[in-house]
């Protein structure tokens, strides 16, 4: 697998995937997204035994969003269709991330702007460096938030703060993002990946079937009624309860020892 704009390292059950186009602050281009897809093929392949994904950026930024220098995409009656690339390139990747059967941690090592912010907040757990910031940059160039931002933001921080970020397009510093409940950890600069790997090791040794189902429960939750969600919990509990890890979990609890989960 030759990747140019992404860098993939599989370290036991943890896959580390990094945006790798530092000279443009890891801005997203068609080539980069193609590499992202290729990397996901490897990450999803059961033969690789991945049980947790860490997404981060090489260099000083996490990801600056779409590369505005490049080809702006299809023209329609002489006008650019700024939405076309979403359908063809971005959305398929976002759907693959949503559907991963194990947790994603994002290690936000530096600024995350526009679509880069969207990818950052796709993490089930989000770790950021103290100097990192989040910016809904879209309105600065006359666009609307995309890549799922407008779905995720109100579910993370509520309506007032979502509107503020999107309408003003100001930087949200990592510390403030933590206080708002947008992210889970703030660490010293240079430490985001280390902290993310600690959490990833914990999760990669967890009951992967249950952890994957937990992700799905929270993806569905906010659109479900109480009744629908009870039903989904019940179905998920049946699936989780059939995995070997549940038997091990109960046994370990009764024997008062740490559980050894296998991810099956």
Contact positions toward other proteins, by CB under 8 A? Answer: 103, 124-126, 152, 155-158, 181-184, 199, 202-203, 206-207, 209-211, 213-215, 217-218, 221-227, 229-230, 232-238, 240-243, 245-250, 252-254, 259, 261
The residue (of 48 and 221) whose beta carbon lies closer to other proteins is: 221
Shortest Cβ 252–other proteins spacing (Å) = 8
Q: Which is nearer to other proteins, 25 or 210 (CB)?
A: 210
Q: How far is the CB of 176 from other proteins (least distance, A)?
A: 14
Beta strand extents in the chain (DSSP E only) = 6-11, 14-19, 52-57, 75-76, 79-80, 104-108, 112-113, 125-129, 133-135, 171-173, 185-187
Angle, CA of 208, 210 and 211, to the nearest 5°? 60
CB of 18 to other proteins, least distance (A): 22
- Read off the DSSP letter of residue 101: S
Give the nearest distance from C-beta 218 to other proteins in angstroms.
6
Identity of the residue, 79 or 238, whose beta carbon is nearer to other proteins in the bound complex: 238
Beta-carbon contacts of 201 under 8 Å, excluding residues fewer than 6 positions away, are 14, 52
Nearer to other proteins, 59 or 154 (CB): 154
The owner of tokens 């690339």 is 85
Residue 79 or 159: the one with the smaller Cβ distance to other proteins is 159
Q: In 3D, which of 31, 41, 25, 43 has the Cα closest to residue 6?
A: 31
How many alpha carbons lie under 13 Å from residue 250 in its C-beta half-sphere?
7
Min CB(210)–other proteins separation in Å: 5
Which residue, 27 or 94, is less far from other proteins as judged by CB? 94
Block residue for tokens 């989000």: 126
Which residue's entry shows tokens 């700024």? Answer: 82
In the complex, what is the shortest distance from the CB of residue 41 to other proteins, in angstroms, rounded to a whole number?
Answer: 25
Task: Reduce the DSSP state of residue 218 to 3 states and report it.
Answer: helix
* CA pair distance 113, 137, nearest whole angstrom: 6
């Amino acid at each position: 697998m030759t990747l140019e704009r992404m860098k993939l390292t599989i370290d036991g059950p943890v896959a580390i995937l990094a945006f790798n186009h530092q000279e443009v602050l890891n801005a997203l281009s068609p080539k980069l997204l193609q590499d992202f897809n290729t990397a996901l093929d490897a990450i999803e392949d059961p033969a690789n035994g991945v049980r947790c994904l860490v997404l981060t950026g090489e260099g000083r930024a996490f990801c600056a969003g779409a590369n505005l220098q490049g080809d702006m995409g299809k023209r329609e009656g002489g006008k650019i269709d700024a939405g076309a690339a979403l359908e063809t390139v971005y959305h398929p990747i976002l759907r693959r991330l949503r559907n991963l059967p194990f947790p994603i941690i994002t290690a936000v090592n530096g600024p995350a702007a526009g679509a880069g912010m969207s990818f950052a907040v796709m993490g089930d757990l989000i770790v950021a460096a103290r100097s990192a910031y989040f910016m809904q940059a879209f309105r600065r160039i006359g666009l609307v938030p995309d890549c799922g931002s407008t779905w995720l933001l109100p579910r993370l921080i509520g309506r007032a703060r979502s509107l503020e970020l999107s309408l003003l397009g100001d930087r949200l510093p990592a510390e403030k993002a933590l206080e708002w409940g947008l992210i889970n950890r703030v660490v010293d600069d240079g430490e985001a990946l280390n902290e993310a790997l600690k959490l990833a090791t914990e999760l990669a040794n967890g009951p992967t079937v249950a952890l994957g189902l937990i992700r799905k429960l929270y993806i569905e939750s906010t659109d479900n009624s109480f009744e629908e969600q009870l039903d989904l919990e019940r179905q998920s509990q049946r699936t989780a309860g059939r995995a070997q890890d549940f038997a091990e979990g109960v046994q370990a609890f009764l024997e008062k020892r740490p559980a050894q989960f296998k991810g099956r």
